[in-house]
Structures are given as C-alpha cells and as structure tokens.
Structure 1
Amino acid sequence: MRSYSFICGCGHSGTSLLANMFASHPALYIPLIETNCFLVRAEARSRWKALRAEARASKLKHFAEKTPRHVRRISLIRRLVPDARFILMVRDGRDVAASFIRRKGSAEIGARRWLADNRLVRAEEGAPDVFVLRYEDLIADPEGALRGICEFTGFDFASEMLRFHETERLWFGVPELRRGTGEDGVQHALLRNWQINQPIFDGRGSWRDLLGPEDLALFDEDEARQMLAYFGYV
C-alpha cells in the first residue's frame, strides 16, 4: 500500500465524521469500526499484522484507521508502522464536554478526557508525521480541510469525500441506520452512526445551551483555560 493514516484524538472531536469522509474515497480502505489495534501493547504487533493483511486484501492503494484513543499510542504505532501519518482531531473542549453529557451524563468526564488527550496532541503538534485538524475548520471549509489532509497523507483529493452522506454505511457494528439516544453502549453507537450518515451538522458552540455554571467552571481552571487558548478557542 502507498500510505497508512491514523485518525485519532479525543473522542467527540469529529473523528467519526472525518473517518466517514475517508471511507468515501475510492482508493482508500478503512475499517468501519474502531479497531483498538494498538491499545494492548502485548497484542499490538500481531493485531497490526492481521489488520494490514486485511487492508492489502482490499487491493486499494491507501489505508486509514480511526480509533480516538490511539492518540495515546503514537510512539508505538511509529515503531510498528514506520511510514504512518497521523491526523489528530481537536475540538473546543466545552463542546466535547457537552457531547459527553448525553453519553455519560457528566460534563466532567468529557472535560477531563479532553484535557488528558489534548496534552498529547499538543506535544505532537509540529512533528513531520502529524497533521492537527480542528473540528471547527473541517465544518467551516470541508473541501479545504480535506485537500490539506490528502496532500499530507499522500493521496489525491476525491470529490466523493464531500458526498460521504450519499452512501449509507453501518459503522461500529450497528445493524441498521437508526438514530439512537446517545446513551453509552449500543444507543451511543447508533447515534454516532446516524450522525455521520447525515450531511454535515454544525455542532460548533452547542455548549452554550448545554453547560451550566458548574460545568463551565471546569474550563476556568488554569490548564484547561490555557489549552483552550492554545488551540484558538476564546
């Protein structure tokens, strides 16, 4: 294969949307699940070997994979996949926290995970094999963002990527295209799958209607406030 790309970053930051755009590329193979291939270090080598064989069997030129938590395994992936490219998704932490309310019933869980995972993104930014993409920039200019990513990863932009929603796909092992409630488990998978099969939905600033004063106080803490500012969020 000509290229290997990994989409990762904090969950609820647009990784699934970007992955479904990738799935529309006619020369690219991407599993319609989060493989978690590298999360268990002792199993990573054998699991990657099997996943790579699956990709090669597709006869397509390029490979991509999406597991948000692989942001915590970038060094390991570099060792096992020397030519790997990483697209690290970033989103306003307040919107991430708001999204976690539906799934976990708690903004704090989302805020803490956002902070932990984006420490890793921040540490990787500027590396030659890393492309940091803000969810907000993908929403504002999908074609521009996708062209930049394609150039970085080494495959040609395809207009089908902008028409991702015209082909129904069942991600995360769900049996049907149905809007779930978003609660953790099957309902969360159903909702995510339904969302990424729709035309682009602008979720920027949803925190304004969903977060209360106690939730917003999480982002008044020094590190969280600095992280927001670092990635361009006022």
Structure 2
Amino acid sequence: MQIGLLKERPVFIFGMGRSGTTLLRLMLTAHPQFCVPSECLFFVRLEPKYGHLEDISDRLDSFLADLYKVESFADWKLDPELLRQNLSQFPALNYATAIATVYRTYLEQIGSDARFWGDKNPVHVYYTEQIQKYFPNAKLLLIIRDVRGTYGSLKRTEKSFDNWQGSCQANVLSVTKQWRKVVDLSEKHKNDPSFHTVLYERLIENPEQELRAVCSWLGVDFDESMMRYYEKNAKEKLVPTGENGWNAKTFQPISKGRLNSWQNELSLTELEALESLNQGNLQRLGYQCVTQPFRYRSLLKVLPDYVDHAFWRLAQIAKLRSKRQKLYSASPLS
C-alpha cells in the first residue's frame, strides 16, 4: 500500500454537536467512493507531540502507543500489526503521512474500495487551519442547523446525562457562542472552493438535491445508495454502540417530523433569548424569528447560563490539560 500524500483528498465533516454531522457522515459513507470512520480525535490529540517532526519513523513505537490511548480509537478495532507494517514502509514518515496511513489501513482492514477517506468531528470547527496545513487538498464540509433546533436537541440529549456537564453545555450562551463560531467560519470561507456549507433543514427537506450538490463539489457522481444510508448503518454498525441512544434515527429513513420541534419544546424565554443573541445570523442564513427581538428581560433570565458556561469552559480546559499530561507523560522529543 503506497500513499501519494499530495494526491490525498480527504473530506472533513464538522459542525456543532446535534446539527447533523453524523447523518451527513453516514450519507457520504454510503457512497461507494467514500469511507468516513466513526468519530475519533487522534489527529488533533497527537498533533502537538508529532506534528512538528519531519520524520517520526524512529518514534513509531511511541506514536502507536499514544494512538491506541486516544479515546474512541478502540471502536475502530484496527489491527496494530497491520498498521505498524503499513507505517514502516515509508523511509521518511511525517505526521500527515502517518495520519493518512491510519485511515488507509482502516479502509484496507474493512475491505473498502473507497477512493477517499474522511473524518467527522464537531471539534474540527476549531482546527480548520491545522487540517489545511497537513492536508492542503482536503475538502471541508460544514453543516449548520438552526440555532434553536440545535439548542432544543442539545437540551433533550444532555438532560439524559443528568449531570452538571449537561446543564453547562445545553444553555443559551454556550450554544450561541459555538453557533456564532460555525456561522463565522462559513462566512469566512464562502469563496473558498475547498469549503462547502450544508444547511441541515435543507438536507432534511430535499436530501437528494443537497447530496447531489455535495457530490458535484467533491467531483463525483451522485449515488442512490446515499439516500439509503440507514441500511448500511444497520448492516455494518457504523455508529458505535455507545452513541445509539442519541443517534437512533440514523437507522431510519429521513423524517421531517422533528424538523421544527423546537417551536413547541422551547419556552418563550429561551426563544426570545436565542433570537435576541442570534438575530443577525439567523436572518443571514434565511431563518425567520418568531418572537420580538431584543427582549432584554429574557436575557436577564438566562444570566445563570453565563455562570454555567464559564464553569464548563474552565472544567474543559482542566480536562484537556490532564489528558495531554497523561498522553505526553514521556519527556518531549524534538
């Protein structure tokens, strides 16, 4: 297996959590030319330690050990000996080639004939520059959902966890800050041919039309199997078992049933606050507000969200530092 890195054209799917990233991943994976494994953050996690090295061949044992420590990588069930064999074939192994080889090994192991590999993770909203640095031919596929629908879905999902993290993530401020980042990113790259934005609501309402546009952008023919993504998901268990609780609908055909469920699920205070904070971006994307904007009394009622958000951000930073410390416990290598 040889990899011509400059010919690599991976697809990176990202967007906010609960905005349809998994659905889009399954639709693309149903296409015979693409394979997007389940979500795993090893590209981001390992980059600080190995990204600056011109050749990691003499650190292969360390790289493999760190790779198999990354959360969710076990879901791939990747044969370590096969991966080692594929990585060892390169006389000089830089970080981008190593990462591409991990994905290509996954395709090899599952017997996929796909020409292109891909990666799906909402977190990549914050790592587009790194993606383009290591994979200059990468395609970046962003999906945006109405902030009210995203908030409503997060609210339902995070409640099931019944812990402080749920209330900190599913609040008006946290969702607004993340949604603004996503919208700003789409606006920044609106003239970038390597970047494509899909609106979740349009994908649900006109899936074939939107998927044809995605395929045209990717330079491949549309395949009807993309509309039957749920069949491949059920057959090959493309969604890890632990995610089934909040991705149950990925085993079913597209349904418009819950498309605007937020209209009945969110309180007037939540709607007024979300629309006051996001009015400009909602209108820019073609979403209609249903309340009178700039209701400052509603913003005052969600002030506790600011406290929750600040606490959650501090906890996330501490958690990330702890993970990096464990992952990079060995002395840094130059």
- Fold in common (TM above 0.5): yes
Aligned to 2:254: 200
RMSD: 2.2
Aligned to 1:229: 283
Aligned to 2:105: 54
Confirm or deny: 8 A CA contact 1:72 1:117 kept in the other structure: no
Aligned to 1:219: 274
1:146 aligned onto 2:211 = yes
Tell me how far 1:142 sits from its aligned partner. 1.0
Q: Normalising by structure 1, what TM-score?
A: 0.84
Per-residue Cα deviation, 1:171-193 (whole angstroms, up to 9, x for no partner): 4421xxxxxxxxxxx4xx22233
Rate the CA distance shift 1:25–1:192 in 2: closer, same or farther, 3 A: farther
- Identity among equivalent positions (%) equals 26
Aligned to 1:17: 23
* AA at the equivalent of 2:273: L
User: Paired residue for 1:99, among 150, 153, 157?
Assistant: 153
Please, which runs of 5 or more residues in structure 2 have no aligned partner? 1-6, 52-94, 160-169, 289-334
Aligned to 2:307: none
Confirm or deny: 8 A CA contact 1:170 1:193 kept in the other structure: no
Q: Normalising by structure 2, what TM-score?
A: 0.60
Indicate the structure (1 or 2) with the bigger Cα radius of gyration. Answer: 2
Tell me how far 1:87 sits from its aligned partner. 1.0
Confirm or deny: 8 A CA contact 2:9 2:116 kept in the other structure: yes
Alpha-carbon separation, structure 2, partners of 1:218 and 1:204: 20
SS of 2:26's partner is helix
Give the stretch that moved more between structures: 73-82 or 48-57.
Answer: 48-57
Alpha-carbon separation, structure 1, partners of 2:267 and 2:145: 19
Give the stretch that moved more between structures: 108-117 or 196-205.
Answer: 108-117
* AA at the equivalent of 1:190: N
Which structure has greater helix proportion? 2
Give the stretch that moved more between structures: 88-97 or 209-218.
Answer: 209-218
Runs of 4+ in structure 1 over 4 Å off: none
* AA at the equivalent of 1:21: M
User: Paired residue for 1:30, among 25, 36, 56?
Assistant: 36
Aligned to 2:14: 8
Alpha-carbon separation, structure 1, partners of 2:276 and 2:22: 29
Alpha-carbon separation, structure 2, partners of 1:198 and 1:103: 19
Rate the CA distance shift 1:142–1:159 in 2: closer, same or farther, 3 A: same
Confirm or deny: 8 A CA contact 1:10 1:118 kept in the other structure: no
1:173 aligned onto 2:179 = no
Confirm or deny: 8 A CA contact 2:10 2:118 kept in the other structure: yes
Tell me how far 1:208 sits from its aligned partner. 0.5
Per-residue Cα deviation, 1:13-72 (whole angstroms, up to 9, x for no partner): 1111111111211222221x1122443341563662443432563442122221111121
* AA at the equivalent of 2:148: R
Alpha-carbon separation, structure 1, partners of 2:12 and 2:224: 21
Alpha-carbon separation, structure 1, partners of 2:100 and 2:118: 15
Rate the CA distance shift 1:13–1:139 in 2: closer, same or farther, 3 A: same
Tell me how far 1:201 sits from its aligned partner. 2.1
Confirm or deny: 8 A CA contact 2:12 2:140 kept in the other structure: yes
SS of 2:196's partner is strand
Confirm or deny: 8 A CA contact 1:9 1:88 kept in the other structure: yes
Matches of residues 34-113 of structure 1 in structure 2 within 5 Å? Answer: 34-40=39-45, 41-43=47-49, 45=95, 48-54=99-105, 57=108, 58-105=112-159, 106-108=170-172, 109-113=174-178
Aligned to 1:162: 227
Tell me how far 1:2 sits from its aligned partner. 6.2
SS of 1:132's partner is strand
Alpha-carbon separation, structure 1, partners of 2:107 and 2:194: 22
